[in-house]
Structure 1
Amino acid sequence: MNKSVILHVIGWILTVEAAFMLLPCIVAVIYKEQSGFSFLITIALCLLIGIPLLLHKPKEKKFFSKEGFVSVALSWIVMSIMGALPFYFSKEIPHYVDALFEVISGFTTTGSSILSDVEALSYCMIFWRSFTHWLGGMGILVFILTILPITGGESMHLLRAESPGPTPEKLVPRIKSTSKILYTIYLGMTILQIILLVLGQMPFFDAVTISMGTAGTGGFAIKNSSIASYSIYNQNIITVFMILFGVNFNIYYLILIGKFKNAFKSEELRYYLFIIFSAIMMIAINLGGITHFTHFIQVSAFQVASIITTTGYATIDFNTWPTFSKTILVFIMFVGACAGSTGGGIKVSRIIIMLKSLKKELSYLIHKRSIKVIRFDNNKVAHETLRSINVYFISYMIIFAASIIGISIDDFDFATNVTAVAATLNNIGPGLEIVGPAGNFGGFTDFSKIILIFDMLAGRLEIFPMLVLLAPGTWRK
């Protein structure tokens, strides 16, 4: 284990996090808020720990997948521990476990909250809460890779450990260039959404924070009514951008370089859009039938886009919907968005490959001599990818079941427990019943909140980094 490189990466994380905290400080100055001092204290602590780690240059810069997974897992934990301090120091979230839950929900783009009154927060805290979504959406280490002096295969281990999906890809030969391209697309789409929302007469502060939540598919709203109080125009803009941010960013790169045919041949994109369209139509019909069909299309489109992309915004309390509509939403909670997007969930590509694997196995049972090759986007799926998907799904189900058992100690109803775990493990935000759009996670005990915190981190980091970090064999010499 190359511990010196891991500590060096953590030094970068703390230093960059300190720099990012200057933005909520500026917001505090604009709105003349005392809470801004809590960010200054946290910045000092980040630099006090981070700079010595950064200045201590590792003698051996080479590291492998094990170090990559550990670096990513520890970086996200350390980043969250420090990121929670402004909430705690300012006493706006006076209990540290609650502050940690809130900031991890932000960084992992989950959007589950312990707050019953979001509007009671100061502007700088609301900004930081939304900004954590934007940082976590593309991945803080993807940003770090644009400046980190690690080259070659080593940086790919960091990208692989943090990027969502079964097979993260390089867009160009150099990882640093890939990271810059991803963040350029990400920033450009965020700015475009801000402009369109402002044109819809949304206040600038609201447009910035809502866009950061949409871009990261996070879902921290800045009003207690989530998005319900905004105009239909702005709700539709948010709907479109939630769907766009749930698309694999490789497709946007192909469009930018003029390879439109390759971009729209994506099998995952076709299934993703088909699932969205089907879910919208079924829910709209179930909600209102033919009467006021246009209204129900708009309402269901927003919620379907919000849930499948794991954003978690709401314009209505879907907890009151018919059972069929709620069942559709729970189903797409697990499906999630596309690989290589900012969305969570199992990912559409994994679902497709698992279904093709099932079809291949059934074909083999019927015709023993048949030889079937699983293809995805006309490319043969490697055995390593199939094995990784199978292990991922087994790990996912074990964590899902264990988490439900763990939080059931709080004695909430079954629907609350199941959807609370589904909402955090899939990085969605709201669930049903007590943790529905009109509720929050504040009623859980600290023990249950820690379980859900683990689920949020495991879901965002695709499970393996957290398992590698906790595996005893990782730390043996």
Structure 2
Amino acid sequence: MNYRLIGKYTGNILLVEGIFLLPAIAVAMAYREPQSARAIAIAALITLLPGILLSCIRVHRSISMSEGFVVCALGWIVLSLFGALPFYISGEIPRYIDCWFETVSGFTTTGSSILTNVEAVSHGLLYWRSFTHWIGGMGVLVFLLAILPLAKGDGGPLQLMKAESPGPSVGKLVPKISTTAKITYIIYFAMTVLMVIILLFEGMPLFDAVMNTFGTAGTGGFAIKNNSIAAYPSQLVHMTIGVFMALFGVNFSVYYLMLTRKWKDVLHNEEFRWYWIIMLGASLLIAINVFRGFYPGDFGQAFRDSFFSVSSVMTTTGYCTADFDKWPEFSRYMLLLVMCIGASAGSTGGGLKVSRVLLLFKHLRLQMCQMIHPRRVRSVRMDKRRVDNSVMFGTTAYLAAYLCILIVSLVLVSLDGKGFETTFSAVICTFNNIGPGLGMVGPTGNFSAFSDFSKFVLSVDMLFGRLEIFPLLFLLSPEVWMTRRLSTPIVSD
């Protein structure tokens, strides 16, 4: 294991984080919040110093796949540890474990919170809190690949992008992976700016528009109002945010195909098609279920709230316009189901991912067919192309690891004695990076009542969910640290 290389990459991450803290200082000063500005400035200095020192390390050795996974996992942990400092130094969140939980929730785009009165938080810290969503949505390593020549050749960047990007497989939009990262971030930035402009035209104040856009773009869902999006009475605002949540849950490669006018490839994309079928189908079923009891005579409003809720939980954003925890059992468990399915691979959303669910169902059907016709040779196909066996093995391994971590987390968090519904939904919504769950952690609740141990477990679950399990498992494996080289070398600087 090349510790100098890991130190250099970690330093680059801290350097970028320290620079990203600077706009929060300007926001705090603009709103005349000297204590907040001072706390963020101290945190930025503490973050920049080790970042500058570590990034100056010169390395002349290749980066392996195992080192790429370790860099990714360690980078996200360090990012969260230092990102929690502004909240702790300011004293607005007095306990560091709560600061870390809030920051991990931000960077992993989960949106779960320990704050009971978010409107009491200063503007500078609210900006940093929401901005962590935007950073974490596309990934800090992808951002670094887009702006810095971190590794020569194409193999090194690809390993880093594989480690951080969600989904069963990671592809390149263009031959160079650094160019792919740039294109992805350009699309991400353009959609962010477009949403801010639309919200401004709809009458939302600038600060609110930017913060809500950060939460939507990163599919994180940190609200700046105690009533979340329900605090804004405009139905137009609700639908704008609902639609953009759904758009940010789409694989960004689909947008590239649209920009390059490859409409046939878009139409043949099974994940894209099933993503919208699941989202709109679930919205319609829930609307029918809640119509008579909660929206008598107004099916339009029933569908709008249903679509917003489905869009929010399926893309793992977590905003709400209605307290769906009070809806009938069918609707609540339908939302729990789409929570687990999640958004598309290659999007900013979490969950199992639609493509992974499709692969599992296709693999199940294939196994059943082979049991009936053992001599017939078949393979799993997606988008009319054969799926490589390594992708299928990775998908089944991911599901096995997912279930193991889910069970262990449920057992550990159950020690708090919060009841099955609260415990189960708390683990599900943190592991899938969703935000609100059911019971005590529903749309009107929060995670402040959990013990420090449970908050730590749930924070680790958020990291497992955002990093798609394997990078963090690599980090915890003694074999990775003791072995000098586990995979084929890849040229680095």
- Give the TM-score category using the shorter length: over 0.9
Query: Residue type of the partner of 1:21?
Result: L
Query: Residue type of the partner of 2:274?
Result: Y
Residue 247 of structure 1 deviates from its aligned partner by: 0.2
Structure 2 residue aligned with 1:124: 124
Structure 2 residue aligned with 1:395: 401
Please identify runs of 4+ aligned residues in structure 1 that moved more than 4 A: none
For residues 130 and 70 of structure 2, what CA distance do their matches in structure 1 show? 26
Which of 269, 284, 298 is 1:281 aligned to? Answer: 284
Structure 1 residue aligned with 2:183: 181
Residue 264 of structure 1 deviates from its aligned partner by: 2.5
Which of 446, 456, 479 is 1:450 aligned to? Answer: 456
Query: Residue type of the partner of 1:146?
Result: A
For residues 30 and 400 of structure 2, what CA distance do their matches in structure 1 show? 49
Which of 432, 435, 438 is 2:441 aligned to? Answer: 435
Q: What are the equivalent positions in structure 2 for 1:350-369 lying under 5 Å apart?
A: 350-369=356-375
Query: Residue type of the partner of 1:179?
Result: A
Q: Does 1:48 align with 2:49?
A: yes
Which of 241, 247, 253 is 2:256 aligned to? Answer: 253
Deviations 1:20-54 (A, max 9, x none): 00010010111010211111111111122111111
Structure 2 residue aligned with 1:36: 37
Residue 337 of structure 1 deviates from its aligned partner by: 0.3
Residue 2 of structure 1 deviates from its aligned partner by: 1.6
- Which structure 1 residue ranges, 5 or more long, are not aligned? none
For residues 371 and 328 of structure 1, what CA distance do their matches in structure 2 show? 37
Structure 2 residue aligned with 1:236: 239
Query: Residue type of the partner of 1:405?
Result: V
Q: What are the equivalent positions in structure 2 for 1:371-410 lying under 5 Å apart?
A: 371-410=377-416
Residue 291 of structure 1 deviates from its aligned partner by: 3.1
Structure 1 residue aligned with 2:223: 221
For residues 175 and 366 of structure 1, what CA distance do their matches in structure 2 show? 43
Residue 232 of structure 1 deviates from its aligned partner by: 0.4
For residues 421 and 235 of structure 1, what CA distance do their matches in structure 2 show? 28
Structure 2 residue aligned with 1:171: 173
Residue 257 of structure 1 deviates from its aligned partner by: 1.3
Residue 147 of structure 1 deviates from its aligned partner by: 2.6
Structure 2 residue aligned with 1:265: 268
For residues 415 and 36 of structure 1, what CA distance do their matches in structure 2 show? 40
For residues 148 and 2 of structure 1, what CA distance do their matches in structure 2 show? 20
Deviations 1:193-218 (A, max 9, x none): 00111111011100000001000000
Residue 317 of structure 1 deviates from its aligned partner by: 1.0
Deviations 1:76-109 (A, max 9, x none): 0001000000000000001000000001000000
For residues 450 and 419 of structure 1, what CA distance do their matches in structure 2 show? 16
Structure 1 residue aligned with 2:329: 323
For residues 2 and 118 of structure 2, what CA distance do their matches in structure 1 show? 42
Query: Residue type of the partner of 1:148?
Result: L
Structure 1 residue aligned with 2:308: 302
Query: Residue type of the partner of 1:198?
Result: L
Residue 151 of structure 1 deviates from its aligned partner by: 2.3
Secondary structure at the aligned position of 1:202 is classed as: coil
Query: Residue type of the partner of 2:43?
Result: T
Q: What are the equivalent positions in structure 2 for 1:134-149 lying under 5 Å apart?
A: 134-149=134-149
Residue 370 of structure 1 deviates from its aligned partner by: 2.0
Which of 140, 156, 162 is 2:164 aligned to? Answer: 162
Deviations 1:309-342 (A, max 9, x none): 0000001111101000001000001000000000
Residue 148 of structure 1 deviates from its aligned partner by: 2.7
For residues 152 and 325 of structure 2, what CA distance do their matches in structure 1 show? 49
Q: Does 1:59 align with 2:60?
A: yes
For residues 301 and 51 of structure 2, what CA distance do their matches in structure 1 show? 52
For residues 171 and 151 of structure 1, what CA distance do their matches in structure 2 show? 18
RMSD of equivalent CA atoms: 0.9
For residues 200 and 50 of structure 1, what CA distance do their matches in structure 2 show? 41
Structure 2 residue aligned with 1:89: 89
Query: Residue type of the partner of 2:176?
Result: R
- Which structure 2 residue ranges, 5 or more long, are not aligned? 484-493
Residue 176 of structure 1 deviates from its aligned partner by: 1.2
Higher relative contact order (CA 8 A, sep 6+): 2
For residues 73 and 138 of structure 1, what CA distance do their matches in structure 2 show? 15
Structure 1 residue aligned with 2:419: 413
Query: Residue type of the partner of 2:71?
Result: S
Deviates further, 415-424 or 147-156: 147-156
Q: Does 1:209 align with 2:215?
A: no
TM-score of the superposed pair, with normalisation by structure 2: 0.96
For residues 49 and 302 of structure 2, what CA distance do their matches in structure 1 show? 54
Query: Residue type of the partner of 1:212?
Result: F
For residues 446 and 338 of structure 1, what CA distance do their matches in structure 2 show? 33
Secondary structure at the aligned position of 1:69 is classed as: helix
Q: Does 1:349 align with 2:355?
A: yes
Deviations 1:280-322 (A, max 9, x none): 1110000014831111000100000000000000011111010
For residues 190 and 52 of structure 1, what CA distance do their matches in structure 2 show? 33
Q: Does 1:471 align with 2:477?
A: yes
Secondary structure at the aligned position of 1:146 is classed as: helix
Secondary structure at the aligned position of 2:147 is classed as: coil
Q: Does 1:462 align with 2:468?
A: yes
Deviations 1:113-143 (A, max 9, x none): 0001000100011111100000000001100
TM-score of the superposed pair, with normalisation by structure 1: 0.99
Deviations 1:126-183 (A, max 9, x none): 1111000000000011001123321220111100000000111111111111111000
Query: Residue type of the partner of 1:214?
Result: T
Residue 56 of structure 1 deviates from its aligned partner by: 1.4
Query: Residue type of the partner of 2:208?
Result: D
For residues 104 and 463 of structure 1, what CA distance do their matches in structure 2 show? 15
Deviates further, 322-331 or 254-263: 254-263
Deviates further, 260-269 or 277-286: 260-269
Count, aligned residues: 476
